[in-house]
C-alpha cells in the first residue's frame, strides 16, 4: 500500500510539489506546485472544465478578497468555524472532529458543549506529547485582510461560490433567463486550518472549482441520468451499498435528480482524471455535519493510505444564498418564468483540485518487479504526453532527435526531450513521472526515418515512421496509440 511519505518523497524529488518557503524553514499549510505538478494540476482542471462545459456551464472569475457584508449575508462570518482543542502542555492545536473520530467516535457532536462532554468522558490525548486534552473552543476559519484605506472589513474568500451568488442577476441576464443555469469558477480559496497536514490534503491556501447550478424548483430538468456502473454509496442511514446512481435515485437513496446527476458527472470526471473507481465512494453527510447552507450533501471520497479523503462535495444549497443576499442587500433576486415568480434553487458540485491531484498520484503509483517506480497516469493527465530520446549524442543522432522534438511540439506542446544518462535510466525516469510514451531516435532512424515507440504501461516497443507520428495533432492525447502499440506484433 502506497503511503503519504512515499508520495511526498516522489513529489519533492521529481518536481511535483514541495512546501512553500522551505528556504526559511517552510510554512505549514502552504505548498508550491513545481514544474511537473503545475502541468498535472492544469490537466486535471482542464478535464474538470471540459466535463462542465459539456454540461452547458459558463465560467467567470471573481476576486479572492471579499467584503465582510457578503460573508455576513452568506453566514460564513457567524458560522464558518471548526471546534478545536489546544494541548495544555505543548500547545499543539487539533480539529476535534477528526481527532475523536480516530478515537472511535463515529457520530461527533456539532457543538462546543458536546465536544467538552466527550473530552470529559474519554481520555483523548495530544498526539504530539501524550497530554490529555480537556477543553474545546470555536475556531474561526477565515483570514481577515488588513484594510487601512476603507471603513469596512475584508476577508480572503473561504469558497469561490459567493462570487457567483452575488452576480446572479447579471448572469441571469447573460443567460437570457433560461434554466437550469450552470456557472463555474476555478480559483484560490483560503481557510485558516487548525492543523494543516498530509501535504496537499489540508492546506490554508488551496485550488478549488465550484459550479452553482440554478434551477426552477418546480422543474429540476435532470431527467437523463445515465445507468452507469455500480458505485459504492454510503447513505447517512443504513449500510453501505453497491448501486448505480440511476437506481439509487429511483429507490430514493439519493433524494433528488439534481444531486444524482452531478454525483454521476463527478464519478465520470474523476475516472477521466485517473481516480480508481474501486477506491472511490460517495458518502452522504450526517445531519449534524451539514454546512449551514446545505440541506443534503454527498461527498466523493477517495481512499489514500487507508483513509477516506473528501475530494468533491455535491450539495443541495436550496435557495439559502440567494434569499440571504436579497435580505441583506435589499436587491430583489427573484425571477419570473411563465408567469411564476420564484427564487431559484441551487445544486453545487465543489471540487478540491489539490486533493484530487493527490488521489491521482496515489492511484497511479506502483512498483515493478525490478524495483522501478511508475506513475500510470492517463494520457490526458500526465505532465508530458511523450519524451524524445536520442540513443546516442553522436553521429547526428541528437540533432535528428532535436529536430523531431521541434516538429512534435508543433503538434503537441506537452512533448519533452531527454538526453541525460543511459537509455535505460531515461526510460525509468520517464516512467516515474508518468510519461506514457518514449520515442527513441537511433541509427536506424538515420536510414529510414523510423523511430522506436515505447509504451509505458506494457513497456512494449514498436517501430513507427516519423510521418505517422506527425499525422494527427493529438496522437498522444488518446488511447489509440496505446492500443496500437499493445496490439502490435512487431
**pLDDT tens digits, 430-453:** 999 999 999 999 999 999 999 999
Would you state the pLDDT for residue 131?
95
Average pLDDT over residues 64-68: 96
**Residues 50, 46: Cα–Cα separation, whole Å:** 6
pLDDT in tens, 182-202: 999 999 999 998 888 789 999
Which residues lie below 8 Å from residue 75, measured CB to CB, with a gap of 6+? 292, 293, 320, 324
Q: Which residue has the higher pLDDT, 185 or 150?
A: 185
Q: Quick count: other Cβ atoms within 10 Å of Cβ 150?
A: 8
**Mean pLDDT taken over the chain:** 93
User: Could you identify the residue written with the cell 505543548?
Assistant: 90
Q: Cell triple for residue 471?
A: 499525422
Interhelix angle for 35-54 vs 353-364, to 10°? 110
Helix then strand then coil, % of the chain, to nearest 5:
35, 25, 40
pLDDT: which is higher, 217 or 37: 37
- pLDDT score of 472 more than 70: no
pLDDT for the residue numbered 110 = 82
How does pLDDT run across 5-23, given as a tens digit for each residue? 999 999 999 999 999 999 9
pLDDT for position 108: 87
Model confidence band, residue 478 (pLDDT cutoffs 50, 70, 90): low
- Kindly give, in sequence order, each residue whose CB lies less than 8 Å from that of residue 357, ignoring residues fewer than 6 positions away: 37, 40, 41, 44, 200
Which CATH superfamily includes the segment(s) 4-65+158-362? Answer: Bira Bifunctional Protein; Domain 2 (3.30.930.10)
Residue of 164, 170, 165 whose CA lies nearest to 184: 164
Of 265, 227, 268, 273, nearest in space to 246 by CA: 227
- C-alpha span between 92 and 332 (Å, rounded): 47
Judging by DSSP bridges, how do beta strands 307-318 and 461-465 pair with one another? unpaired
Instruction: Say if CB 97 and CB 112 are below 8 A apart.
Output: no
The sheet carrying 437-441 orders its strands as: 415-417, 386-390, 437-441, 450-455, 461-465
Q: How many CB atoms lie within 10 A of CB 375?
A: 26
Say how far apart CA 463 and CA 445 lie, in whole Å: 10
Q: What is the pLDDT of residue 310?
A: 97
Rounded to 10 degrees, the C-alpha dihedral 393/399/400/401 comes to 60
Task: Label residue 412 by pLDDT band (50, 70, 90).
Answer: confident
**E strands along 353-431, which residues?**
365-367, 373-375, 386-390, 415-417
User: What is the bridge-based pairing of β-strands 241-243 and 280-284?
Assistant: unpaired
Which single residue is written with the C-alpha cell 480539529?
A: 95
Alpha carbons 198 and 200: distance in angstroms, whole number:
6
Portion of the chain with pLDDT greater than 70, in percent: 96
The percentage of the chain sitting over the pLDDT mark of 90, rounded to a whole number, equals 79
Could you read off the pLDDT of 325-361 as tens digits, one per residue?
Answer: 999 999 999 999 989 999 999 999 999 999 999 999 9
Do the Cβ atoms of 21 and 27 come closer than 8 Å? yes
CA distance readout (Å), 281 to 10, 132, 272, 291, 313: 26, 34, 16, 20, 12
Q: What confidence score (pLDDT) does residue 220 get? A: 75
Q: Where are the extended beta strands (E) located within 165-324?
A: 181-190, 205-215, 231-234, 241-243, 280-284, 296-304, 307-318
Radius of gyration of the chain from Cα atoms?
25
The three grid cell numbers given for residue 386, joined into one nine-digit string: 511523450
- Look up the pTM and report it: 0.92
Which triple of cell numbers denotes residue 263? 454525483
Q: What is the pLDDT of residue 477?
A: 66
| Among candidate residues 283, 280, 277, the one with its CA nearest the CA of residue 101 | 283
Residue ranges of alpha helices (H) inside 55-132 are: 68-74, 76-79, 96-102, 112-121
Q: Which pLDDT does position 81 carry in this prediction? A: 85
If phi > 0 it is left, if psi is from -120 to 50 it is alpha, else beta; for residue 173 that is: alpha
DSSP state for residue 132 in the 8-state scheme: B
**Which of 291, 214, 224 minimizes the C-alpha distance to 260?**
224
Residue pair 352/310 in contact (Cβ under 8 Å)? The answer is yes
Looking at the predicted structure, is the pLDDT value of residue 386 above 90? yes
DSSP bridge pairs for 474: none
| Overall average pLDDT of the 397-403 stretch | 97
Q: Which residues have a Cβ under 8 Å from the Cβ of 35 and sit 6 or more positions away?
A: 15, 383
Instruction: List the beta bridge partners of residue 475.
Output: none
On the question of a common fold for 4-65+158-362 and 372-487, the answer reads no
The DSSP element (H or E) to which 165 belongs, if any, is helix 161-165
Superfamily covering domain 372-487: Anticodon-binding domain (3.40.50.800)
Q: Which residues contact 352 (CB under 8 A, 6 or more apart)?
A: 206, 207, 208, 310, 311, 312
8 Å CB contact between 138 and 83 = yes
> Smallest Cα–Cα separation from 180: which of 212, 228, 206?
212
Span 259-299, pLDDT tens digits: 999 999 999 999 999 999 999 999 999 988 898 899 999 99
Give the C-alpha separation, 42 to 55, whole Å.
Answer: 20
Q: Which residue has the higher pLDDT, 396 or 219?
A: 396
Domain boundaries, the chain: 4-65+158-362, 372-487
Interatomic CA distance for residues 69 and 86, integer angstroms: 31
* Residues 262 and 289 sit within 8 Å (Cβ to Cβ): no
Which pLDDT score is estimated for 140?
A: 86
* Contact call for residues 96 and 89 (beta carbons, < 8 A): no
For residue 1, pLDDT over 60 is answered with no
pLDDT value, residue 411: 81
In this prediction, residue 484 carries a pLDDT of 65
Q: pLDDT tens digits for 222-233?
A: 778 888 899 999
Res. 2 pLDDT band, cuts 50 70 90: confident
Amino acid at each position: 500500500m502506497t503511503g503519504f511519505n512515499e508520495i511526498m518523497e516522489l513529489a519533492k524529488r521529481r518536481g511535483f510539489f514541495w512546501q512553500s518557503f522551505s528556504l526559511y524553514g517552510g510554512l505549514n499549510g502552504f505548498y508550491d506546485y513545481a514544474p511537473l505538478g503545475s502541468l498535472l494540476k492544469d490537466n486535471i482542471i482542464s478535464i474538470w472544465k471540459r466535463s462542465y462545459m459539456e454540461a452547458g456551464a459558463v465560467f467567470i472569475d471573481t476576486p479572492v478578497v471579499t467584503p465582510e457584508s457578503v460573508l455576513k449575508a452568506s453566514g460564513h462570518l457567524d458560522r464558518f468555524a471548526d471546534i478545536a482543542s489546544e494541548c495544555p502542555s505543548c500547545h499543539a492545536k487539533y480539529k476535534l472532529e477528526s481527532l475523536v473520530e480516530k478515537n472511535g467516535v463515529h457520530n461527533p457532536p456539532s457543538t462546543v458543549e458536546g465536544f467538552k462532554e466527550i473530552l470529559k468522558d474519554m481520555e483523548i490525548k495530544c498526539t504530539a506529547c501524550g497530554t490529555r486534552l480537556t477543553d474545546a473552543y470555536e475556531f474561526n476559519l477565515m483570514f481577515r485582510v488588513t484594510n487601512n484605506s476603507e471603513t469596512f472589513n475584508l476577508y480572503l474568500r473561504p469558497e469561490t461560490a459567493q462570487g457567483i451568488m452575488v452576480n446572479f442577476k447579471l448572469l441571469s441576464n447573460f443567460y437570457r433567463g433560461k434554466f437550469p443555469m450552470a456557472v463555474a469558477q476555478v480559483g484560490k480559496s483560503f481557510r485558516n486550518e487548525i492543523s494543516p497536514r498530509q501535504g496537499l490534503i489540508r492546506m490554508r491556501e488551496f485550488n478549488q472549482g465550484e459550479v452553482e447550478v440554478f434551477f426552477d424548483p418546480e422543474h429540476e430538468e435532470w431527467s437523463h441520468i445515465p445507468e452507469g456502473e455500480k458505485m459504492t454509496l454510503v447513505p447517512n442511514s443504513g449500510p453501505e451499498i453497491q448501486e448505480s446512481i440511476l437506481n439509487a435515485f429511483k429507490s430514493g437513496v439519493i433524494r433528488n435528480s439534481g444531486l444524482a446527476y452531478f454525483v454521476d458527472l463527478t464519478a465520470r470526471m474523476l475516472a477521466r482524471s485517473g481516480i480508481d473507481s474501486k477506491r472511490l465512494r460517495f458518502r452522504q453527510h450526517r445531519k449534524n455535519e451539514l454546512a449551514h447552507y446545505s440541506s443534503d450533501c454527498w461527498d466523493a471520497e477517495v481512499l489514500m493510505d487507508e483513509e477516506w479523503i473528501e475530494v468533491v462535495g455535491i450539495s443541495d444549497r436550496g435557495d439559502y444564498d440567494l434569499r440571504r443576499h436579497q435580505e441583506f442587500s435589499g436587491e430583489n433576486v427573484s425571477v419570473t418564468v411563465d408567469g411564476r415568480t420564484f427564487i431559484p434553487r441551487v445544486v453545487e458540485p465543489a471540487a478540491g483540485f489539490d486533493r484530487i491531484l493527490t488521489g491521482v498520484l496515489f492511484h497511479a503509483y506502483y512498483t515493478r518487479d525490478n524495483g522501478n517506480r511508475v506513475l500510470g497516469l492517463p494520457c490526458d493527465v500526465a505532465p508530458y504526453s511523450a519524451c524524445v530520446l536520442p540513443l546516442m549524442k553522436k553521429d547526428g543522432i541528437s540533432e535528428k532527435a532535436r529536430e523531431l522534438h521541434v516538429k512534435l511540439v508543433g503538434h503537441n506542446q506537452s512533448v519533452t526531450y531527454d538526453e541525460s544518462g543511459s537509455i535505460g535510466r531515461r526510460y525509468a525516469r520517464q516512467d516515474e513521472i508518468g510519461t506514457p510514451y518514449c520515442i527513441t531516435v537511433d541509427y536506424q532512424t538515420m536510414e529510414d526515418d523510423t523511430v522506436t515507440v515505447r509504451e509505458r504501461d506494457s513497456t512494449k516497443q514498436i517501430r513507427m515512421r516519423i510521418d505517422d507520428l506527425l499525422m494527427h495533432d493529438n496522437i498522444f492525447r488518446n488511447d489509440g496509440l496505446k492500443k496500437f502499440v499493445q496490439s502490435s506484433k512487431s
